[in-house]
Amino acid sequence: MDTTQRELRHDVIGHGREPARVLQWIGLFFAPLVFFAHLEIAYVLIPWGCTRPTEFWQHAVGLIAVVLSLAGVAAAWIARARTSVAGEHPPGHPVEGPGALFRTRFMGDTGLGISAILTLILLMQWIAGFFITVCQ
């Protein structure tokens, strides 16, 4: 593995306690992008789905969106977990401040919240597709 590949892998996965910069951004923006893509693709499939006797593609798109959105949740979770070490802060010690550790913690928490909410919304939309047909 050459130096460039190692550096890219280090940025994505991180090493030890070092923040994974790319992973922070993936955790923050991947689930919203998946949500937007699912919304657009699902609307495009409606006229086509009304002329077919099966709803396979609507369910396939919903399942793929949920799984991809869970990848965003996992990325945010990993980015946040990199900042947590047992016994890191003594009681009463502030956990805010400047630096990469606190930025990683903030982006991990924010990405985890946004990704989890959007994943739940995608899951609910996919489940609703089993009860409400495309043409209704």
**Residue with the two structure tokens 């991809």:** 68
End-to-end CA distance of the chain: 54
Rounded to the nearest angstrom, the gap between the alpha carbon of residue 11 and the centroid of all alpha carbons in its chain is 17
Give pairs for 3-9: CB < 8 Å, separation 24+: none
Say if residues 110 and 28 touch (Cβ distance below 8 Å): yes
- Give residue 46's pLDDT: 87
Residue 41 CA: distances (Å) to CA of 3, 44, 64, 95: 39, 5, 11, 42
Residue 40: what pLDDT?
95
Percent of the chain scoring above 90 in pLDDT:
43
Q: What does the pLDDT look like over 41-79, one tens digit per residue?
A: 999 988 888 888 888 889 999 999 999 999 999 999 988
Q: Which of 87, 119, 114 is nearest to 29 (CA)?
A: 114
- What ranges do the domains of the chain cover? 20-79+95-131
pTM reported for the whole predicted model = 0.76
**Range in 76-85, 87-96, 112-121 with the lowest mean pLDDT:** 87-96
Torsion of CA 21, 22, 25, 26, to 10 degrees: -140
* Per-residue confidence (pLDDT) for residue 10, from 0 to 100: 47
SS3 category, 90:
coil
Least confident of 7-21, 41-55, 79-93: 7-21
pLDDT value at 86 more than 50: no
